[in-house]
Amino acid sequence: MTKDQKTEAIELLKGKFSQYSNFYITNTESLSVEQVNHLRKVCFDKKVEMKVAKNTLIRKALESLDNEKYAGVYEALHGVTALMFSDSPKEPALIISTFRKENAKLEKPVLKAAFIADELYLGDNQLASLVKIKTKNELIGEVIGLLQSPAKRVIAALLEKGKKEGEAVAAAPEASAPSAPEAPAADAAPEAPAAE
């Protein structure tokens, strides 16, 4: 790889790290070409970008963006590295987990690290936790559900009360309608005022 190619690769990686607040660092070593192609297709279908890159280039890209922020990531940069970039904090974890289940004999890809919204998860043992992370839309749905819950209970109580009152009215005997007041006769003359 020439110096210009390295510079271009670093710039491309910097763009990806800047674009996405979530990325996973995985090891896909020992996967067959067919398996890697299948993994790439699944990532593409789930809107996850997968890039294989050299560890030194990944480190240079991260250092040039914010060395302090990404310092914990560097220890995960060893062996074969495939990066997964995603808007969703848990989609890559779901992909890795599902891929392993479909290929029961595999323990790959191995999760080396995940950087989720400025928080670092190191090691493959973090995969189960990452699968359970709530996405923004899931959290919004839960909040809406919590807000709607009391309103639903009030509406249900009002409907139940109205139903009971309707049954009570229907069960009560009909009262006779009050007679209308008699209207004065049309031909009756008005009383003359008393003379003083």
Chain segment 74-115, per-residue pLDDT in tens: 999 999 999 999 999 999 999 999 999 998 778 889 999 999
Q: What is the DSSP string of 41-63?
A: HHHHHTT-EEEE--HHHHHHHHH
Task: Return the pLDDT at 170.
Answer: 66
Residue pLDDT, tens place only, 2-52: 999 999 999 999 999 999 999 999 999 989 999 999 999 999 999 999 999
Q: What is the pLDDT of residues 141-179, one digit of tens each?
A: 656 766 776 767 777 777 777 777 776 666 665 554 455
Number of Cα atoms under 13 Å in the Cβ half of residue 117: 9
* Interatomic CA distance for residues 37 and 60, integer angstroms: 27
Question: What's the CATH class of domain 3-133?
Answer: alpha beta
Sequential DSSP letters for 124-182: GGGHHHHHTPPPHHHHHHHHHHHHHHHHHHHHHHHHHHHHHHHHHHHHSPPPPPPPPPP
Which comes out higher in pLDDT, residue 116 or 179?
116
Q: Are 88 and 134 in contact (CB under 8 A)?
A: no
Residue 1 pLDDT class (50, 70, 90 cuts): confident
- In angstroms, the Cα distances linking 167 to 8, 50, 102 are 78, 64, 58
- Identify which of 131, 48, 133, 138 has the alpha carbon closest to the alpha carbon of residue 94: 131
pTM of the model: 0.70
> So where are the chain's domains?
3-133, 134-165
- Contacts for 121-125: CB closer than 8 Å, 24+ residues apart: 122/72, 122/75, 122/76
Q: Residue 93: phi, psi to the nearest 5?
A: -65, -40
Contact criterion met (CB below 8 Å) for 88 and 20 = no
